[in-house]
Amino acid sequence: MSAAGLVGVALLGGVVGFVVPPLARRFTTPARLRRGAWLSPPVAAVVFVGLAVARGDDPALPVLLAVAAVGLVLAVVDLACLRLPDPLVAVAGTVALGGLTGAALLAGTPGRLLGALGGAAVAGASHVLLALLPRSRLGFGDVKLAAVLGLPLGWLGRDAVLAGLLLPHLLHGVLVLALLAARKIHRETLLPLGPALLTGTWLAVLIG
């Protein structure tokens, strides 16, 4: 992608960064939303530019950007109130499935759509099993989000799916250990997994 194109994507990300907090307020209270105050236009811009640099020649780039935009709202809400609202997850899933279907048809690569559906199935089934383990703290909101994120990962291929399955839990585990060591939390403290799922998926898309 050209430098001008990257600037345009960065500006688009910045606009998304401004819009995310008002959208997130629809699903939580303003007081709780302060916990998600880390989100800013520069963060959204970095997310968008990373996708553009890594996948600028992929016909599904607009879909990846749209899913990332919804994902930013989900991350803020989950940080604020430990919840991944079904309407937001459904929007992300609809955008991903509809967008990837269109991209596959326009590019004449229906096989990639089958890969996307396979990625969703693998990610969803894997997280169902994790949620059913004894003492698991994985919620079914996390399971549904993982299945949705499996769509773009499956579009990119097996390596992206594997990275997308491993990286979120690695990131979450490191964060938990760091917070425990700093005595910021205790063993029974509940932490949101949604941001880790989204960040891990973003990284998997960059390297997949």
b/e map 176-193, b = 16+ CB within 10 Å = eeeeeeeeeeeeeeeebb
Predicted pLDDT of residue 187: 80
Q: How far apart are CA 74 and CA 194, in angstroms?
A: 7
Q: What is the pTM of this model?
A: 0.93
Predicted pLDDT of residue 175: 92
**34, 70, 193, 182 alpha-carbon torsion, rounded to 10°:** -40
Q: pLDDT tens-digit profile of 63-106?
A: 999 999 999 999 999 988 899 999 999 999 999 999 999 999 99
Q: pLDDT tens-digit profile of 34-43?
A: 654 556 788 9
Q: pLDDT tens-digit profile of 119-164?
A: 999 999 999 999 999 888 888 999 999 999 999 999 999 999 999 9
